């Protein structure tokens, strides 16, 4: 008989990602990530597996972080990023047939972004953001030894820090090229106030196109991303005419005729929108939305605690430049699609009760590498073979199978309820492993963050843990969630706490009506925007016995100017936070704190730059002054907004212990 899943089992889960298939389709290299509980750290190495099957094998070894594997065009080398020169990261090369990895860059401390091989395999283009000299490890250590203070931060830009990334002040990503054989590295774009992203080579190897917003009047406005190119020999970057709007994942077609990217044509109203696959002539010109008929967004929109949010947004040309491959978020799942370069033959290649978190395609256009997971199994690497528009898959790894054979994993049950305006709200129920239909169970409604993300067909340790402890767990996608069409996602734009609240109360009514749910022992919890909605709910109804708000939004007025992404006035939200804050305050849970009677656990991290710690401070102080039942768990600076997904393992354990203790005391 299988045992119940525990907190400790979180640290046994093996995480796989970035499956990269060889050009000839013979094998797949991928990232394997694990947690060392004793060292309280995460490590990742590269592994590989034959496409035809066999035991996966380690490709790199060591207690560091190896990531972003990329095959050379001839299939003889793997380039990857590693921090084995801590505190510096470098691009490394390792021969496919075996041998030692060697660094080909000699960069200072900083952050390496995307990189791409040149078509002839002699160079690699990459973007790199250097750390300011005064904040490098050696300088900090020297100041400490001399008893000197750290220098003040001199800030001139609105965008000067990022949650999970830290403070970077005026440093920006710039474009570099490194010679693979000699290691000679040249900076192609000058030091400036502009970022460069997503480098892609012209097939003749003479040009590198990239994304950048180089308009000083629209600094750090992601809605106005433009396409540029620069000669591999250097010189002034040239702008390539393209539709206005946000852009990511720029890719040059192998025949040189086209540039493709993921984006939308709404520069002043970019979010939430359906990001689609766009194509323009390589020399610039009119853009074409190749998937205009598809009412969903490209990319990975699902939330889980067994990987960071999202798996990127791959966009892959077929070798003959006829077809583009990409992933789409739909009804809690993520699925591979393809479309012809002329916009015809839009085809969904896979469907089912799972998500595809990443994908790559061999040169023959028939062999694929995929990262697939479901609600009952963490992600593994799969091989895919396409015949026509049918893609069949088979697993190549089973890192988590020993754990799955040992513990009782509950398969969720789908449900739909009809909101007051007739729109269907989709969700899932997890019941305890030893569920008895004659009993009534305490029940927890979980609310996702974003808000423009989704819960879905993916493993969630925290949900399984709660079910194993005897709770019915409900998780759902109310208005605002992606995966159900653009109008569904945009229904709450600039108006939180209205339509979304009604949808969630409809779900709560449904739960209370179920014969196995005890309506007097219901809890509600969520993180980030889910924490916002938890705060809003307990300020507008007393129907829940207890609540947990995690890394939450409390005061939209204060958060508008203190988050790592300061709000742009009159865009997502009406008004601003200095002389026109009315709408922000109207939608702030803090405005209704006086109504809160529900016992509330507040969880937040001092290192959270997305929803700053001051949000939690305000709510806690208000509830204490009001004499309400509240407990505040304040995690230290080394944790961030993503504590539940990627925070220090010991703090993740503590957080789950606090959750279970709170529910046990109140439900």
Output the 3-class SS for 298-360: ECCCECCCCCCCCCCCCEEECCCCCEEEEEEEECCEEEEEEEECCCCCCEECCCCCCEEEEEE
- Do 412-666 and 1-103 have the same topology in CATH? no
Instruction: Give the long-range contacts of residues 6-9, CB within 8 A, separation 24 or more.
Output: 6/407, 6/465, 6/468, 7/465, 7/653, 7/656, 7/657, 7/660, 8/653, 9/403, 9/407, 9/461
Specify whether the CB–CB gap between 565 and 608 falls below 8 A. no
At 592 the pLDDT is: 98
The Cα 252–Cα 662 span in angstroms is 53
Neighbours of 484 (CB within 10 A): 24
The Cα 514–Cα 477 span in angstroms is 19
Catalytic residue among 468, 528, 563, 644: 528
At 310 the pLDDT is: 52
At 308 the pLDDT is: 67
Q: Is 461 tagged catalytic?
A: no
Show the tokens assigned to 513: 């009506």
Q: What is the CA radius of gyration of the chain?
A: 25
How many angstroms separate the Cα of 538 from the Cα of each of 401, 546, 584, 612, 621?
40, 9, 19, 21, 16
Distance of CA 295 to the CA centre of its chain: 21
Torsion of CA 59, 62, 66, 71, to 10 degrees: -20
At 303 the pLDDT is: 95
Q: Mean pLDDT per segment of 10 residues, for the chain of length 667 residues?
A: 97 97 98 97 97 96 96 98 97 93 97 98 98 94 96 92 91 97 96 94 98 87 95 96 97 98 97 98 97 97 82 90 98 98 96 97 97 97 94 98 98 98 98 97 98 98 98 98 98 98 98 98 98 98 98 98 95 97 98 98 97 98 98 96 95 98 98
DSSP letter string, 252-274: E-TTSSEEEEEE-S-TTS-SS--
At 612 the pLDDT is: 97
Select from 329, 313, 276 the least CA-distant residue to 455: 329
The Cα 498–Cα 501 span in angstroms is 5
Specify whether the CB–CB gap between 618 and 589 falls below 8 A. no
Specify whether the CB–CB gap between 7 and 653 falls below 8 A. yes
At 339 the pLDDT is: 98
- DSSP-H helix ranges across 124-261: 137-146
At 99 the pLDDT is: 86
At 311 the pLDDT is: 56
Select from 209, 238, 225, 216 the least CA-distant residue to 275: 225
Q: Is 528 tagged catalytic?
A: yes
CATH topology of domain 412-666: Rossmann fold (3.40.50)
- Domain definitions of the chain by residue range: 1-103, 132-169, 412-666
The DSSP H or E segment spanning 655 is: helix 649-666
Determine the angle formed by the axes of helices 499-513 and 529-538, rounding to 10 degrees.
70
Determine the angle formed by the axes of helices 461-468 and 649-666, rounding to 10 degrees.
40
Select from 256, 359, 351 the least CA-distant residue to 311: 359
β-strands 66-71, 57-58 pairing: unpaired
Select from 372, 511, 489 the least CA-distant residue to 423: 489
The Cα 167–Cα 564 span in angstroms is 10
Helices (H) and strands (E) in the chain, counts: 11, 38
Q: What sign results for the dihedral spanned by CA atoms 647, 648, 651, 652?
A: positive
Who's near 26: CB < 8 A, 6+ residues apart?
A: 50, 51, 75
The Cα 188–Cα 173 span in angstroms is 12
How many angstroms separate the Cα of 21 from the Cα of each of 65, 71, 309, 596?
20, 8, 23, 53
At 595 the pLDDT is: 98
The Cα 49–Cα 290 span in angstroms is 34
Q: What's the CATH architecture for 1-103?
A: 6 Propeller (2.120)
Select from 47, 69, 51, 49 the least CA-distant residue to 59: 47
Specify whether the CB–CB gap between 454 and 297 falls below 8 A. no
The DSSP H or E segment spanning 430 is: strand 424-430
Show the tokens assigned to 257: 């005729």
Show the tokens assigned to 545: 């016995």
Q: Which residue has the tokens 């179920």?
A: 514
Rama region for 407: left / alpha / beta (φ>0; ψ in -120 to 50; rest): beta
How many angstroms separate the Cα of 663 from the Cα of each of 139, 173, 179, 284, 658?
46, 45, 57, 58, 9
Catalytic residue among 174, 379, 641, 666: 641
């Amino acid at each position: 008989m299988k045992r119940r899943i525990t907190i400790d089992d979180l640290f046994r889960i093996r995480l796989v990602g970035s499956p990269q298939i060889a050009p000839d389709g013979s094998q797949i290299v991928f990232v394997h990530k694990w947690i060392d509980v004793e060292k309280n750290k995460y490590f990742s190495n590269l592994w590989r597996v034959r496409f035809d099957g066999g035991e996966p094998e380690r490709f790199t070894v060591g207690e560091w972080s190896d990531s972003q594997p990329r095959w050379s065009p001839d299939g003889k080398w793997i380039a990857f990023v590693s921090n084995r020169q801590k505190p510096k990261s470098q691009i490394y090369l390792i021969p496919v047939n075996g041998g030692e990895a060697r660094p080909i860059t000699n960069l200072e401390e900083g952050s390496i972004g995307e990189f791409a091989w040149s078509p002839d395999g002699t160079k690699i283009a990459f973007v790199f953001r250097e750390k300011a000299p005064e904040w490098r490890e050696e300088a900090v250590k020297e100041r400490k030894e001399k008893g000197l203070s750290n220098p003040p931060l001199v800030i001139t830009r609105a965008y000067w820090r990022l949650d999970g990334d830290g403070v970077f002040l005026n440093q920006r990503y710039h474009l570099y090229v490194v010679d693979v054989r000699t290691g000679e590295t040249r900076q192609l774009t000058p030091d400036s106030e502009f970022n460069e992203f997503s480098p892609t080579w012209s097939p003749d190897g003479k040009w590198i196109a990239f994304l950048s917003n180089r308009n000083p009047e629209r600094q750090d406005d992601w809605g106005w991303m433009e396409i540029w190119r620069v000669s591999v020999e250097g010189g002034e970057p040239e702008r390539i005419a393209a539709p206005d709007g946000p852009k990511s994942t720029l890719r040059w077609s192998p025949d040189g005729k086209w540039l493709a990217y993921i984006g939308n044509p709404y520069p002043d109203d970019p979010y939430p929108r359906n990001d689609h696959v766009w194509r323009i002539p390589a020399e610039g010109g009119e853009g074409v939305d190749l998937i205009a008929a598809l009412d969903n967004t490209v990319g990975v929109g699902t939330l889980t605690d067994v990987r960071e949010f999202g798996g990127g947004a791959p966009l892959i040309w077929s070798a003959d430049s006829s077809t583009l491959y990409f992933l789409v978020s739909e009804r809690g799942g993520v699925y591979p699609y393809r479309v012809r370069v002329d916009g015809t033959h839009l085809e969904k290649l896979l469907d089912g009760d799972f998500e595809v978190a990443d994908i790559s395609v061999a040169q023959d256009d028939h062999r694929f590498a995929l990262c697939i997971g479901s609600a009952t199994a963490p992600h593994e690497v799969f091989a895919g073979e396409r015949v026509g528009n049918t893609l069949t898959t088979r697993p190549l790894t089973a890192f988590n199978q020993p754990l799955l054979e040992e513990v009782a994993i509950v398969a969720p049950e789908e449900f739909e309820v009809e909101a007051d305006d007739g729109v269907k709200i989709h969700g899932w129920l997890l019941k305890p492993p030893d569920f008895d239909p004659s009993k009534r169970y305490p029940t927890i409604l979980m609310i996702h963050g974003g808000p423009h993300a989704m819960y879905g067909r993916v493993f969630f340790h925290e949900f399984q843990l709660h079910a194993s402890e005897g709770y019915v767990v409900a998780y759902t996608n109310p208005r605002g969630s992606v995966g159900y069409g653009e109008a569904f996602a945009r229904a709450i734009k600039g108006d939180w706490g209205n339509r979304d609240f009604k949808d969630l109360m409809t779900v709560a009514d449904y739960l209370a009506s179920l014969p196995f749910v005890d309506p007097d022992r219901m809890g509600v919890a969520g993180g980030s925007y889910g924490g916002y909605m938890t705060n809003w709910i307990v300020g507008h109804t007393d129907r829940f016995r207890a609540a947990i708000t995690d890394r939450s939004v409390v005061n939209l007025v204060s958060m508008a100017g203190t988050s790592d992404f300061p709000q742009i006035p009159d865009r997502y939200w009406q008004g601003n936070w200095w002389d026109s804050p009315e709408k922000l305050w109207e939608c702030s849970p803090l405005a209704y704190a006086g109504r809160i009677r529900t016992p509330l656990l507040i969880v937040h991290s001092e290192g959270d730059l997305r929803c700053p710690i001051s949000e939690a401070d305000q709510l806690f102080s208000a509830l204490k002054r009001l004499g309400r039942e509240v407990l505040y768990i304040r995690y230290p600076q080394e944790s961030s907004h993503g504590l539940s997904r990627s925070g220090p393992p010991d703090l993740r354990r503590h957080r789950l212990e606090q959750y279970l203790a709170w529910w046990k005391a109140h439900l």
